[in-house]
Structure 1
Amino acid sequence: MAASSVGKTLAGLALMAAFAAHSAEVSVAVAANFAAPMQQIAVQFQRDTGHKAVLSFGATGKFYAQIANGAPFGVLLAGDDATPEKTAREGLGNGATRFTYAIGRLVLWSKQAGYVDAEGKVLQQSDWRHIAVANPKLAPYGLAAVQTLDKLGLAAQVQPRVVTGENIGQTYQFAASGNAPLGFVALSQVMENGQLRQGSAWVVPATMHAPIRQDAIVLQRGEGNPAADALMQYLRGEKARAVIRAYGYDF
């Protein structure tokens, strides 16, 4: 092998070693609605920074309970803004790091094409048996769904047919499996690259419910972790925001 090739190889190995030496890992609690975009972002994040984000997905309310009981998460990507504010107030997170990484959109969705009309009037029909809604006490999208039904004056009419999901991930599964012909889910779960993946949907106007502001915060366990700091910075960057936009979120 030529001396120049050997030199380039050694330089490359040295660069890789230096990159690995400065890499770190952070455990991230991610709201279920943000699972798909965050999986993409985590891959980009590791490739671009060398740091690794280890992801767990679930209901924001359940994550709060786990964090309060000492779960070793370093960063919380919540489905609301109230939970990160609460963690900061209680000393479980650093309030100075908190910011809104996305504003979620609620959608009434069916896996059946043509089933949901563009104005959501299907809710007033009586030929469907079940509708999937996330637990409003644990999941911000569930609360938004309840607020929407209240706004439409349909809460009492629809309630007997509600199938409650523990989180928005389970709620989507109820609708995707056909166990519920309708479901209030996150737009991000049924949209990719700006297009509805399948079925039919009514994107609920933002005026029908309180804004679904999704905040990120570095938790007590993540303080001083370079991977946690790098992830928070990365989420503000254009690469991450391009992914977030593609799944239908606002900022």
Structure 2
Amino acid sequence: MKKLKILMASSLLLSCSLTFAGEVNIAVAGNFFRPLQALARDFEYQSGDKVNIAVGSSGKLYAQISNGAPFEIFLSADQQRASKLVENRLAVKGSQYTYAKGKLVLWSSDPNVVDNQGKRLISPHLKRLAIANPKVAPYGEEALNVLKSLGIYEQLQEKIVFGQSIGQAFQYVSSSSIKQGIIALSQVTRGGEINEGSAWIIPSDLYQPIQQDVVLLNKGKSNPVAIAFLTYLKTADALKIIHSFGYEVDV
């Protein structure tokens, strides 16, 4: 009987601790999924709160938020969609800011495919090239700008395979179903370095700056955990994690 009472008391303590732990629902663009996972682990360790993550293309997440999805924070891959949410009164005015500046990379999971000058892009041996759908993914839009800046879009147009998000474009290449793709540098960077496959970090003057903005959604304005996470996102610990995935950050 005494043992049963101890077990019941332990269960009660556990339920109380869970009651005090808060949660936040975050929608994140595919390029920032891995960094957000790392940030979430650190935030959860520091705060004791839980981070729930939904990942997709910025365009699809924007549509879901516009249709009432229960997200409280939106980490977009661009500035425009975050701004539109504020304009449409679905996000808190004054909460929007740039949390990271993204970079593009031509990448292959095969260490012998991509050279450090990107010459394989114009090689006749190139059969297919994976990029994200430019209609819903800012990284796909800027990948097209790279091809246009290089003057090779027309000759490669029939070889492009579109992923519905930057995550799907990465999956095509990482699984070797497509030999190379233009993806987010963050998807292949660990600890500040690309340590797998072969890559060409695309010069930033070949595409428009990828300014990624975060915004507090209306559904999160009364959630202290959502506000705490946005505060955490500006800390030195968070900026160090973001930078380690290849992003530029404002210190």
User: TM-score when scaled to structure 1?
Assistant: 0.91
Give the Å deviation of 1:197.
Answer: 2.6
Alignment partner, residue 177 of structure 1: 175
Q: Could you tell me which of 79, 98, 107 is aligned with 2:77?
A: 79
Q: Could you tell me which of 65, 68, 93 is aligned with 1:67?
A: 65
Counterpart of 2:145, as a letter, is Q
Matched, 1:239 2:237: yes
Q: Report SS of the residue matched to 1:112.
A: coil
Q: Report SS of the residue matched to 2:183.
A: strand
Alignment partner, residue 92 of structure 1: 90
Matched, 1:130 2:164: no
Q: Could you tell me which of 197, 206, 209 is aligned with 2:207?
A: 209
User: TM-score when scaled to structure 2?
Assistant: 0.91
Q: C-alpha distance in 2, partners of 1:247/1:220? A: 29
Alignment partner, residue 194 of structure 1: 192
Q: Report SS of the residue matched to 1:93.
A: coil
Give the Å deviation of 1:22.
Answer: 4.7
Q: C-alpha distance in 2, partners of 1:223/1:104? A: 27
Q: Report SS of the residue matched to 1:97.
A: coil
Q: Report SS of the residue matched to 1:107.
A: strand
CA offset digits 1:129-156 (Å, max 9, x no partner)? 1100100010011011000101000110
Q: C-alpha distance in 1, partners of 2:229/2:33? A: 16
Q: What is the RMSD of the two structures over their aligned residues, measured on CA atoms?
A: 1.7
Q: Residue 20 of structure 1 contacts residue 50 of structure 1 at CA under 8 Å; is this kept in 2?
A: no
Give the Å deviation of 1:114.
Answer: 2.9
Matched, 1:48 2:46: yes
Q: C-alpha distance in 1, partners of 2:91/2:17? A: 28
Q: C-alpha distance in 1, partners of 2:209/2:17? A: 40
Q: Report SS of the residue matched to 1:231.
A: helix
CA offset digits 1:141-197 (Å, max 9, x no partner)? 101100010100011011100010000000001111111111011101111001213
- Counterparts of residues 89-128 of structure 1 (less than 5 Å): 89-128=87-126
Q: C-alpha distance in 1, partners of 2:222/2:108? A: 44
Bigger Cα displacement from structure 2, 55-64 vs 119-128: 119-128
* Gapped regions of structure 1 (runs ≥ 5): 1-13
Q: C-alpha distance in 2, partners of 1:207/1:128? A: 24
Q: Residue 23 of structure 1 contacts residue 227 of structure 1 at CA under 8 Å; is this kept in 2?
A: no
Counterpart of 1:185, as a letter, is I
Q: Report SS of the residue matched to 1:28.
A: strand
Large movers: runs of 4+ above 4 Å? 16-22
Alignment partner, residue 142 of structure 2: 144
Q: C-alpha distance in 2, partners of 1:31/1:246? A: 18
Alignment partner, residue 152 of structure 2: 154
Q: Could you tell me which of 210, 216, 219 is aligned with 2:217?
A: 219
Give the Å deviation of 1:205.
Answer: 1.1
Counterpart of 2:214, as a letter, is A
CA offset digits 1:207-243 (Å, max 9, x no partner)? 1111111111000111111011011011111111111
Q: How many residues in Structure 1 have an aligned counterpart in Structure 2?
A: 238
Cα separation, partners in 2 of 1:188 and 1:177, compared to 1, 3 Å: same
Q: C-alpha distance in 1, partners of 2:15/2:168? A: 42
* Gapped regions of structure 2 (runs ≥ 5): 1-12
